[in-house]
Structure 1
Amino acid sequence: MQKEKRNIMFISGYIVVLMFAIIDTLFIGNVSANSSKTVNIAHSSWIGFYPLDLAEEKGFFKDYGVNVKIKDIESKADSKSALASGKIQGIATSVDTNVLSAASGLKIQNVLALDTSTGADGLVGIKSIKSFKDLKGKTVALDTTGGASYFWFNYMLQKNHMKLSQIKVDSMDSGAAGSAFVAKKVDAAMTWQPWLTKAETRKNGHIVMSSKSSPGIIVDTLGLSTDFIKNHPNEVKGIIKGWYKALSYIKSNPESAYKIMSSKAGIKPKELKKEMTTEIKLYDKNGNKKYFGTQKNKGQIYKISKIASNLWYTSKISKNKISADKVTNPTFVNQIK
């Protein structure tokens, strides 16, 4: 009897040990799966975002332990809902867009400056539209869901003492706006490259104004979910380092870099290189440290965020204001040496 009991106890103990071993194996498997979980980042068809695609293509994010997937989402509304639902963890867009999103309750913070427009955004129109004021009574294609074009458009409305109601607005994303102008469906459009160049091919079409006239107003950043930032700080650093490595690769291997990025942009490498080197400025490590500054010595991003928050509120696009401190996180760009 004692022998039988010992056998039963032995078998029971073995089963318990085996169960723990299985559980431990499953747990380790889950940890490994979680550590390699894909981080989804969305962006629209803007030339300043293509280094993100380059970093994904060349495996630069993976070099720093992050599995990043870049997704093309043109609509600001779609990217916001995707972040809110957890389908994506980040959005590459303009500072003002992420400010508007945060003011509406979306938990997002800007952690990395990507580029600033120095001529790659603009208003295209028929030749009779010679200035912004000439838009009165005209049909304008404009993304009214947010974004650099809408922010800049409202900025110019205030500057020219005009109201949106004085213009016939046809709402669509900025890429579609450029396409609509080329197709002669509207009198004017707020758009960006490569659509500015394409718009000039339209008979009787020209660039009315470009972002050269408003330096420092249009700046693009990477905004990440605050929950993702809190729970995955090392991955945030990896994403930023991947961006920096992409910029270094563009300098050291321009032919390869522009060939990869041009396939994403849908234009020739030579044309993309010209636009990216003359109409935008990309923010590298030093540029980010200067642009963000610190909590004690704040950089330009805090000023633009405040302007955006006030403009969205006074334009009645947002019901709330949000402080620049709440939507800006300078921690990571300052930690990376």
Structure 2
Amino acid sequence: MVKKLVVQVATVVAAGLLASGAAQAQETKLALGMSGWTGFAPLTLADKAGIFKKNGLDVELKMIPQKDRHLALASGAIQCAATTVETHVAWNANGVPITQIFQMDKSYGADGLAVRNDVKGFADLKGKAIGVSAPGTAPYFGLAWMLSKNGMSLKDVKLVSLEPQPAAQAFVAGQNDAAMTYEPYLSTVRSNPTAGKILATTLDYPMVMDTVGCAPTWLKANAKAAQALANSYFEALEMIKADPAKSNEIMGAAVKQPGEKFAESSKYLRWQDKAANQKFFAGELMQFMRESVPILLEAGVIRKAPDDLNATFDASFIK
């Protein structure tokens, strides 16, 4: 009797281990390229809080500078990437196909141009040195967009190639005349008013919105995983609502900020839930992409417009 019971228990344990192994085997591996930008933080939360794993995904979040993310995508080092909408346009135009599947955030003052206190307007920036990321990045496009809206172009200023964090740090240290950067680094300028002021942000020029896209070939072969990725993002937003303190601690830790400090920087953007996504993909996305093309051309980021902007997104994952 005892022997029979032991055999039964062993059988149940073995079955459990097999089931556990099967569940782990079913997890789809996925590498996603991103940065420490505050808007991407729900992806970190989905990772650290086990949301990806719960949804059958084994996600590796790779911190890759925006200027290099398309190279990682083209080489197959990553399958998906979080980046700004116009960057998706540029990658497609430059021969690196990517399909946007959900929107993450919209900047509401989280991206901005810091200038010295004696600068009264954009015209005063002619010939001035501005710290900004390389072509093909959000700060580079943002600067081009702001200058264009003020009758100027990148040719009217001197560009100093610096990533967003060093650009803000250099500016506060007294280097360069201006800096184009974003949160959490823009708050470095906000907290050092003697160094300068913020001339304009995305509140004045709403042109920074981020989406997650995936390589079309991967997407076609892994539609369920892509759906799980989108679902995980929306679940992370629900966790932020339900437990903001814990969520902010987790997201802040990824950028070496305490939860309260991270919460402060996140006030300058809006994470986009499923309803906001559906509205965005229904019309605003296409409108913005069309408006971004001439500025990308003028800035030399692309040489020709993408053949078909409709091919750069798939709204089926946000229904």
Fold-level similarity (TM above 0.5):
yes
Once the 2 structures are TM-superposed, how far is the Cα of residue 119 of structure 1 from its aligned partner?
0.6
Instruction: Sort the Cα spacing of 1:32 and 1:201 in 2 relative to 1 into closer, same or farther, 3 A.
Output: closer
* 2:292 aligned with 1:308: yes
Q: 1:58 aligns with which of 43, 46, 49?
A: 49
2:195: which partner in 1?
204
The one-letter code sitting in structure 1 at the alignment partner of 2:318 is V
Runs of 4+ in structure 1 displaced over 4 angstroms?
31-35
* 2:243 aligned with 1:253: yes
Write out aligned runs for 1:184-263 (5 A). 184-202=174-192, 203-215=194-206, 217-263=207-253
* 2:74 aligned with 1:84: yes
CA distance in 1, matches of 2:25, 2:221: 12
Deviations along 1:257-283, one digit per CA (max 9) or x if unpaired, are: 00101101222211211221x311111
The one-letter code sitting in structure 2 at the alignment partner of 1:317 is V
Counterpart contact for 1:76–1:145, Cα < 8 Å: no
Counterpart contact for 2:34–2:66, Cα < 8 Å: no
Deviations along 1:282-330, one digit per CA (max 9) or x if unpaired, are: 111111111112xxxxx21111111122321243321110132021111
CA distance in 1, matches of 2:85, 2:223: 21
Give the fraction of aligned pairs with identical amino acids, expressed as a percent: 30
Counterpart contact for 1:42–1:70, Cα < 8 Å: yes
CA distance in 2, matches of 1:207, 1:133: 15
Once the 2 structures are TM-superposed, how far is the Cα of residue 34 of structure 1 from its aligned partner?
7.4
Structure whose CA Rg is larger: 1
2:5: which partner in 1?
none
Once the 2 structures are TM-superposed, how far is the Cα of residue 91 of structure 1 from its aligned partner?
1.2
Runs (5+) with no aligned partner, structure 2: 1-21
1:130: which partner in 2?
120
Instruction: Sort the Cα spacing of 1:180 and 1:332 in 2 relative to 1 into closer, same or farther, 3 A.
Output: same
TM-score by length of 1: 0.84
What RMSD, in angstroms, separates the aligned Cα atoms of the two structures? Answer: 1.7
Deviations along 1:13-43, one digit per CA (max 9) or x if unpaired, are: xxxxxxxxxxxxxxxxxx9987434211111
Counterpart contact for 1:50–1:265, Cα < 8 Å: no
1:103: which partner in 2?
93
Q: Secondary structure at the residue paired with 1:199? A: helix
Select between 139-148 and 43-52 the one with higher mean Cα deviation: 139-148
CA distance in 2, matches of 1:102, 1:179: 33
Counterpart contact for 2:52–2:59, Cα < 8 Å: yes
Q: 1:173 aligns with which of 159, 163, 175?
A: 163
Once the 2 structures are TM-superposed, how far is the Cα of residue 77 of structure 1 from its aligned partner?
2.8
Write out aligned runs for 1:279-298 (5 A). 279-293=268-282
2:260: which partner in 1?
270
TM-score by length of 2: 0.88
Select between 321-330 and 53-62 the one with higher mean Cα deviation: 321-330
The one-letter code sitting in structure 1 at the alignment partner of 2:275 is N
* 2:308 aligned with 1:326: no
Select between 143-152 and 188-197 the one with higher mean Cα deviation: 143-152
